A and B are shown apart, each in its own frame.
Chain A
Amino acid sequence: MHLADVWMVFVFLAFTMYIVLDGWDLGIGVFTLFDRDAGRRRRMHALVSWLWDGNESWLVLVALTLWAGMPLVTGVALPALYIPLILMLFSLIARGVAIDLIDRHDGWHPVWGRLFGIGSLVAGFCQGVAFGGLVAGFTVDGDAFAGGPFAFLHHGYAVLTGLTAVALYLVAGCAYVYLKTDGETQERAARTGRVAVVALAAGTIASWLLASSAGPLTLHPGATARLPIWIIGAVLLAAGLAFAFGSFRRDPDDGRSDRTPWIATLAVYSGGLLVAGGLLYPTLVPPGVTVHEAASPHTTLLFITIAMAVFTPLILTYQSYGYWVFRGKVDAPNEGVA
């Protein structure tokens, strides 16, 4: 096994952590757009304000694990995804600043709240667009991207994956709200969550069926050997969706655990990641750029692998501590805001 494959574990970890953790807070942003009640929105804003910064850090880590470990991917894919990624950055700026100012700026609460919701929606959409654009492939000339500014759209396919990503994040957001609140907020999360699960299922199936129309989706020879992995992934994904739909109950006070939608959401994530990873690995930028071609030299990989092995457990420890401090249900807008 090559050191580059070991490094891909960290890339995959960062990607997974990002879409799971920032997934719920982006999803809450989308969810707040459907809620007219200021009190309920404030409750959800409080949930996000405590932890979004740590969640979003994983996005930076995704970018950096690729840049330091797979510089060719950064050099090719980022210019190719210029438009969706710049839009994502604008949206992340807007929502990050909005969530921070939301309780500090009297009278502007509705403005920042709306900006937070729209920023979350557009950021999630752009991430899905970028993902769809990437997996459908790019024209590469030497070490550089050689396509036009809208090549990432792939005749509209990327829009479909963008919408699917929004549905995924909305499911995660609703599941998290369901876990962390009670009463009417929780009931609303259950209702919206069910709709989002249906949308996600439809989006996933459509993305799957239309993938071949998007671009030269040539599978790496290794991919067929991993048939069991992606079949397990597909089963897990389908089961997770069904489980999520069932666990967003209309009557949350029936004595059963409020954790089930969140667990179901994790199953959806795991299944989706297994399918995507099983199909694409070791290709990083289809059709041609693979892990081994894109990897940094051995000296760099060794240095950063050791560094990540040391720091990842630390990061996970203090981030878990943060979640532990803010555990339990949230009742009211931020207390103790200085």
Chain B
Amino acid sequence: MTQDTLLDLSRWQWALTAAFHITFPAVTVGTSAFMVVCYAMYMRSDDEVWLRMFRFWRKIFAVGFALGVVSGIVLTFEFGLNWGPFAHDVGPIVGMAILMEVIMAFFLEAGFLGLLIYGEGRIGRRMMMFATCMVTLGTTLSVTWILVANSWMQTPAGYKVVNGQFQPTDWLHVIFNPSFGIRFIHMLVGVLLTAAWFIAGISAWYFTKRRHLPVARRGLSVALGVLAVAVPLQMFLGDTAASSYVAKYKFPELLAMEGHWNSNSNGENIIIVPKPSEERNLWQVTIPWLGSAIAKDWSGKTAVPGLKTVPKAQRPAVLPVFYGFHAMWIPTLLMMWAVVASIALRLRGRLFSARWFHKLLVCMTPIGLLGIWGGWVTAEAGRQPWIVYGKLLTAQAVSPLKPVPVLVSLILFIAIYMTLFAVFARYVVRAVREGPGDGPLAEPAPPTLQPQPQPGLSPAT
């Protein structure tokens, strides 16, 4: 009993701290890329609007990034704190991947972040450009290695087991494990479009308020341009991930994503109330024919396979997998529709005047996050009951702690993270209300690499 309680508490703590953490990289990775664009355009054109945009987005980036860093440190420790046996068993492989993330990405970001945020006036424009690029490179490498580690847990490869420990035999197979490629690209496009909706939404808000229009116009244009490519691409990548990796390596997860028990329906479930103990749905809303169509049979004759085709022990929990998946793909349909509308408006020259569309974009600001959270819930809940798919059970990987300390830490995490989230949301709202400013800008940075005498600095002793 206490063993089950401990496992549940440890899993909830991981799920909540990881979900909180991913919220910030999901926005900041793409925002840093956008800042590179802004600063590069500023250097090319000397147009102050680009510098104003750079400074404005940097304000939001800085706080989001700091929250991502501190919540990321929590995760690196939790691997050992709550999952000690896991840390021991997979340290030679997963520990390696996270170590690579730290030395290639984490330090790079941290090393240049201070320059990016506080460096103006102390470093030249080229160095500022370089620092911004390095932070963006760091965030991208970070995504890469985290996806190496997690994909190996989904589709382990290139290892042997010695005394219960997974030891690498072939690094290429470990790193380029079967699901890494598609999952990495899927995630990278996911964070880019999350940031793009965020930028589009905030820019659109300025349109609805008729404020800061030069900044808003460029933000909206760039973000919707990125989305016009990224959203269709993401639909294709998502479909490829489902067919080439989930269906092939984690078939029970695919069944839970669809939410059918018997293999006799050609429909696509939209809402289900499952009762796993009786192997049926108490209630469901199904769109006929669509399930067959998604399986690329337009005649509607293909039945969607049901969960009963795999043994009970292999089935993940239906509820989180089903709704995680739907939180990802139903918003994608809305995104697709909005992208088509944006292209139509742009072609007719009405992108900056269609107020209904601006209001819609404001409502869609956090929509990318739904997809990120949903996708990760699908992947992680869909891997259960395994922590390393098919090889190591989650129940065998939990630290032998007393449940009470874990319960207390979980409650404190919830309290602290809710506070932080409220502070962050309030900060973003305030920063957006203040806006990028319309008055004259402070002097741009001096054009040399040598620091100039500044009010904040007197000569070194």
Contact = CB atoms under 8 A, between A and B. Distances in A.
A311 B99 CA distance: 11
Contact of B80 (A49, A63, A65): A63
A64 B66 CA distance: 20
A301 to B, nearest CB: 9
Contacts of B167: 296-297, 299-300
Contact of B103 (A46, A70, A77, A307): A307
Determine chain B's interface SS by DSSP, over half rule.
helix
B118 A337 contact: yes
Interface string A319-331: 1011001111111
Interface stretch (B243-251, B327-335, B450-458): B450-458
B102 A64 contact: yes
A67 B90 CA distance: 9
Interface stretch (B57-65, B210-218, B271-279, B348-356): B57-65
A315 B111 contact: yes
B71 A93 contact: yes
B121 interface: yes
Contact of B95 (A74, A312, A336): A74
A143 B111 contact: no
A93 B460 contact: no
A79 B80 contact: yes
B110 A54 contact: yes
B451 to A, nearest CB: 7
B447 interface: no
Interface stretch (A28-36, A84-92, A165-173, A226-234): A84-92
Given A64-B102, A68-B98, A92-B70, A328 B93 contact: no
Q: Which of B81, B119, B420 has the most A CB atoms < 10 Å from its CB?
A: B81
B84 A145 contact: yes
A71 B106 contact: no
Given A75-B85, A297-B167, A304-B99, A57 B401 contact: no
A187 interface: no
Interface in B404-458: 404-406, 409, 412, 416, 420, 423, 427, 442, 451, 454-458
Q: Which of A67, A68, A296 has the most B CB atoms < 10 Å from its CB?
A: A67
B168 A300 contact: yes
Contacts of A46: 456
Interface in B289-342: none
Interface string B186-221: 000000000000000000000000000000000000
A76 interface: yes
A206 interface: no
Contact of A329 (B55, B401, B461): B461
Given A101-B423, A330-B456, A54 B461 contact: no
Q: Which of A46, A49, A75 has the most B CB atoms < 10 Å from its CB?
A: A75
B93 to A, nearest CB: 7
A2 interface: no
Interface string A129-145: 00000000000000111
A167 B112 CA distance: 30
B48 to A, nearest CB: 14
Contacts of B405: 82-83, 86, 149
Contacts of A143: 85, 88, 164
B169 interface: yes
Contact of B99 (A65, A97, A299): A65
A86 B63 contact: no
Nearest to A147: B400
B87 A75 contact: yes
Q: Which of A77, A330, A335, A337 has the most B CB atoms < 10 Å from its CB?
A: A335
Given A53-B110, A300-B167, A67 B80 contact: yes
A51 B442 CA distance: 24
B391 interface: no
26 contacts: A49-B114, A68-B92, A71-B88, A71-B92, A74-B91, A74-B95, A75-B80, A78-B81, A82-B401, A82-B405, A86-B81, A93-B416, A101-B427, A104-B63, A104-B427, A143-B164, A307-B100, A311-B103, A315-B111, A318-B107, A321-B111, A326-B118, A329-B461, A330-B456, A335-B456, A338-B120
Given A307-B99, A330-B457, 20 more contacts: A61-B107, A65-B99, A68-B92, A69-B95, A70-B91, A74-B79, A75-B88, A79-B400, A82-B405, A89-B74, A93-B416, A96-B66, A144-B88, A297-B162, A307-B100, A311-B107, A322-B115, A325-B122, A331-B456, A336-B442
